[in-house]
Amino acid sequence: METNYNIFALKRSACMISIYIGSSSEFSGKSMIVIGLGLKMKTEGLKVGYIKPFAKSQDSAAHSIKEILDLKEPIEDICPVILTHDLFMQAIKGKAKIIDKTILSAFNKTTKGKDAALIGGAGNFTDGSMLGISGIKIAKLFKAKVLMVERYKDSSTIDAILSAKDYFGKSLKGVVLNFVPHEGIDYMKKNVAQFLKNKGIDVFGIFPEEPLLHSISVEDARDALNGDIICAKEKTGELIEHLSIGAMDVDNAMKYFRKTSNKAVITGAHRTDIQLAALETSTRCLILTGGQMPNNIIIGKAEMAGVPIMVVRDDTLSTIEKIERAISMLHLSGKNKIEKAREMFDEYFDYVMFMKKVK
């Protein structure tokens, strides 16, 4: 969306704006919004800082955002607290150190001399409550405006947004609705967005599903599944955008395969008919479950077609669950994904309205 708001007025202000980007569930797309906001602000001439106050492990999203936004601060300041088992045990015993001081110190370091501070929330804005560092407390500590990013599922998503308003009060400036099927965009604009507006919650963006942003390389899929690539190993950098389950009859499978590009087909080693059908269409990888090898004819055809075959020991259901979780956990990386994220942010996020609300 074209910027027609005098953003440089913010630079002349002595007050830095702090924005907490949170959600009520994991994998809602917060990193994409942080990156989109950060890049947009930088193009407007603002100096941007970023902090992820805490994470459950060494946070790959924080590393990616540091690189993409070209932040000079060390990762230890950008993500200062790791929620280890020992830390939780100390909290249970009432011996946990007061870690909000650690977070505040890191915040001051990462935002010194900046015009805007982006604060990345945890999976759920209530995470960290037992340590006194929930999203609610963090937003208050930094006097931050709050932007919620929600993966839209059903009415429960609206319930979560309304609950967030109860928690954050006037600090909640609005919401982004993410992963909306293309056919549902108009409904969301006309009904859900209007409902939320009537409740005093602005919708700054409704983002459609985008296969590229939620793709996974064959190599990353192999790592997630602990699989073995038995042919076309040079193609493991290719991106899988769709998953197809080869459990149907071959005629129906072929119809579906022809309509679905850049896919991985998950099926058993005994389903040679499904494997052959997959190799005749736009397939990035054959994933064979149950630990059995395919026959030599299939291997030869896959090698000629440049389609890696991955053999995994899990059954089909477990394989699907593992790869879907791996896709959910992947963060933006690679030039194509970052550029697509930037394009989508510019197209679907009302940056002008948002900046007016948080100034």
DSSP H or E run through 267: strand 263-268
**What gap in Å lies between CA 193 and CA 177, rounded to an integer?**
9
Full-model pTM: 0.80
Determine which of 74-78, 319-323, 343-347 has the lowest per-residue pLDDT on average: 319-323
- SS3 at position 309: strand
Fold of 214-329: 3.40.1390
The whole-angstrom distance between residue 236's C-alpha and the CA centroid of its chain comes to 22
- Residue 13 has a pLDDT of 40
pLDDT at 5 over 50: no
- Residue 3 has a pLDDT of 46
Averaged pLDDT, 165-179? 96
Backbone phi, psi, residue 22, to 5°: -125, 180
Q: List the chain domain ranges.
A: 8-209, 214-329
CA pseudo-torsion sign 136, 159, 186, 122? positive
CA pseudo-torsion sign 225, 230, 231, 233? positive
Determine which of 19-23, 85-89, 123-127, 235-239 has the lowest per-residue pLDDT on average: 85-89
Question: Residue 4 — very low, low, confident or very high, per pLDDT cuts 50/70/90?
Answer: very low
**What gap in Å lies between CA 127 and CA 123, rounded to an integer?**
7
Fold of 8-209: Rossmann fold (3.40.50)
The whole-chain average pLDDT of the chain stands at: 90
Q: Token digits for 110?
A: 């990462």
Dihedral (C-alpha) 84, 87, 92, 98: value to the nearest 10 degrees?
Answer: -140
- Residue 52 has a pLDDT of 96
- Residue 319 has a pLDDT of 94
Averaged pLDDT, 112-117? 96
pLDDT at 6 over 50: no
- Residue 329 has a pLDDT of 67
pLDDT tens string 262-302: 999 999 999 999 999 999 999 999 999 999 999 999 999 99
Q: Are 295 and 321 in contact (CB under 8 A)?
A: no
